[in-house]
Amino acid sequence: MKAIVLDISISKQRCQLLIDGVSVFESPVSTALNGAGERKNSGCTPRGHHVIRACIGAGQPINTVFVGRRPTGEIYNDALGQQFPERDWILTRILWLSGLELGKNRLANVDTMQRYIYIHGCPDSLLMGVPLSHGCIRMHNQDLLALFDKVKAGTRVFIHE
């Protein structure tokens, strides 16, 4: 059985998919503007060992807009972005994370899943390699599509500084 881990570095703003220690995918990401942290309502990206709880959006068109993990029927474009400039866009696909470490990123006030922490697409005009999110891990849409096809629910994710 192959060891598959998605490694996310907050300090490098990069993710790498490792299979048996060999990188098979790498991409820039954008983690939280507020830095690393596990507390509910902190706006921080949680650290530690996680698992992909659900892979959402298979078969949806690129730039599909999601709210509450459901497609809205909208397809993101510049005009929509200008119409709703303050919206935190969740686009294309969602990898919903769940913490594995009791008291660190699972249960109580530090539960990654209950915080709705995702790896998700965002407008391609947003910068990668710079922390700007509200806690989630953002990716450009083409990168997310490539990653989405390589992972499944149950894939381990390690987020570190």
Does residue 22 have a pLDDT over 90? yes
Confidence bin at 132 (pLDDT 50/70/90): very high
- pTM to 2 decimal places: 0.97
Q: State the fold for domain 4-160.
A: L,D-transpeptidase catalytic domain-like (2.40.440)
* Long-range contact pairs involving 109-116 (C-beta distance under 8 Å, separation at least 24): 109/39, 109/40, 110/38, 110/39, 110/40, 110/46, 111/40, 112/38, 112/46, 112/50, 113/53, 114/40, 115/40, 115/46
Task: Give every CB contact of residue 5 below 8 A, 6+ residues apart in sequence.
Answer: 17, 18, 155, 156, 157, 158
Q: What is the pLDDT of residues 38-75, one digit of tens each?
A: 999 999 999 999 999 999 999 999 999 999 999 999 99
Mean pLDDT, rounded, of the chain: 97
Q: Return the domain boundaries, the chain.
A: 4-160
Rounded to an integer, the average pLDDT of 110-133 is 97
pLDDT band at 1, cuts 50/70/90? confident
Q: Report the percent of the chain where pLDDT is more than 90.
A: 99
